[in-house]
Amino acid sequence: MDFLRPAGWEEALAAKAEHPTAVPIAGGTDVMVEINFDHRRPEYLLDLTRVAELAEWEATDRTVRLGAGVPYTRIIEELRTELPGLALAAHTVGSPQIRNRGTVGGNLGAASPAGDAHPALLAAGAEVEVASVRGTRRIPVEEFFTGVKRHVLEPDELIRAVHIRRADGPQQFSKVGTRNAMVIAVCAFAVALHPRTRTVRTGIGSAAPTPVRAREAEEFLGAALDEGGFWDSGAPLDPSVVRRFVELCAGACRPIDDVRGTAAYRRHAVGVMARRTLGWTWEAYREGEGRTAQCA
């Protein structure tokens, strides 16, 4: 196994172009496990930790450009306001040691349906910036995943950054695991209220071959909020609306039975998380969080 250590981004792209089988590695929290357990023996490892720009983020009015190599710990510490949903999700990743090393770029690259960042990215609204020596393109995160541990990247492409919409309203993230820390998701759910566009977005993890949005649920709730004048009134949600939203979220799952949980439980749990996280975000909205954003 050859270990490639590009000093800069252009060099990294060149290396990937020259060795398309090279496996990029940042924190190593996924890749090294696979290597140590002999599940994977790549010809080349492409170490991206010397590419300094990957470990940086910058915020503009509407988005945060998160370098692919920013570890979870820094998201929790530095981006709690801009990306509250992702910060909550980052908090559920592994142990403190894993959060110090693991990155959103790596989570996307692994493309596991159980990746903790994915539901939060889906709910917030995000685009993945990928590049190769041929050029750069931006892929909406909902189009990024193509199957279990598969994504749309070409063999010569690398993930450079994720452009995530800055929160303009309350966001929440919940994850069910069978212990109270350091656990892979049995299933996960994220919701983000977007008062500026008067929309609601969701993300579901570990309950389908890829992370998915519950689009029908989003559209239903968006319409119900709009029609009922809820964005302006901040009135409590009608229980029948919540019930329908929950049904549609659970219905968006295509779960399986596996060693971590049953399909029926996953669908049930996604429904419970959808109800609770919607309740928490709406309560926060009613209390003022994001209600000024509409005028911005």
Partner 1 sequence: MAADRTASAPATLTQATGATRGTVGESTPRPDGTLKVTGEFAYSSDLWHEDMLWGFTLRSPYAHAAIRSVDTAEALALPGVYAVMTHDDLPAGTHYGLEIHDQPVLAKDRVRFHGEPVAIVAADHPETARRAAARIAVEYEELPLVVDEATATAPDAPLLHPGRRDHHASHVPHPNIVHRQPIRRGDVAAARARADVVVRRDYEVGMQDQAFLGPESGLAVPAEDGGVDLYIATQWLHVDRDQLAPVLGLPADKVRLTLSGVGGAFGAREDLSMQAHACLLALRTGRPVKIVYNRYESFFGHVHRHPAKLTYEHGATRDGTLLYVQCRIVLDGGAYASSSPAVVGNAASLSIGPYVVGNVDVEAIALYSNNPPCGAMRGFGAVQACFAYEAQMDAVAAELGLDPVEFRQRNAMSQGATMPTGQLVDSPAPVAELLRRVKALPMPPERDWEAAGGPVDVRALPGGLSNTTHGEAVVRGVGYAVGIKNVGFSEGFDDYSTARIRLEVIGGEPVALVHTAMAEVGQGGVTVHTQIARTELGVDRVTLHPADTRVGSAGSTSASRQTYMTGGAVKHACEAVRAEVLRRGRERFGASHPAWAEPERLRLEDGKVVTDGGEVIGDLAGILGDEAIDLEREFRHRPTEPFDLRTGQGFGHVQYSFCAHRAVVEVDTELGLVKVVELAAAQDVGKAINPLSVVGQIHGGSTQGLGLAVMEEIVVSRDGARVRNPSFTDYLIPTILDTPAMPVEVLELADDNAPYGLRGVGEAPTLSSTPAVVAAIRAATGRPLKRVPVRPEHLTGG
Point out which residues bind partner 1 (CB under 8 A): 36-38, 88, 91-92, 172-184, 186, 259-262, 264-265, 267-269, 272-273, 276, 280
CB 153 to partner 1: min, Å: 25
CB 113 to partner 1: min, Å: 15
Q: Smaller CB distance to partner 1: residue 221 or 269? A: 269
CB 31 to partner 1: min, Å: 15
- 270-279: buried (b, 16+ CB within 10 Å) or exposed (e) per residue? bbebbbebbe
Q: Smaller CB distance to partner 1: residue 104 or 188? A: 188
Please report, for residues 127, 162, 290, the alpha-carbon distance to residue 296 in angstroms, rounded to integers and kept in the order given.
Answer: 23, 24, 10
* Cβ neighbours of 180 (radius 10 Å): 6
Looking at the chain, which runs of residues are DSSP E strands?
A: 2-4, 23-25, 44-47, 57-59, 63-67, 126-132, 135-140, 145-147, 150-151, 158-165, 171-176, 187-194, 199-205
279 three-class SS: helix
Q: Smaller CB distance to partner 1: residue 176 or 252? A: 176
* Cβ neighbours of 286 (radius 10 Å): 16
Edge-to-edge strands, sheet with 199-205 = 171-176, 187-194, 199-205
Q: Smaller CB distance to partner 1: residue 235 or 264? A: 264
Q: How far apart are CA 289 and CA 234, in angstroms?
A: 11
CB 30 within 8 A of CB 40: no
Q: Smaller CB distance to partner 1: residue 55 or 98? A: 98
CB 251 to partner 1: min, Å: 15
Q: Smaller CB distance to partner 1: residue 9 or 280? A: 280
Q: Sign of the C-alpha dihedral, residues 227, 232, 235, 239? A: positive
CB 179 to partner 1: min, Å: 5
| The two structure tokens encoding residue 14 | 């060149």
Nearest alpha carbon to residue 192 among 227, 221, 167, 229: 167
CB 224 to partner 1: min, Å: 22
Q: Smaller CB distance to partner 1: residue 116 or 127? A: 116
CB 286 to partner 1: min, Å: 15
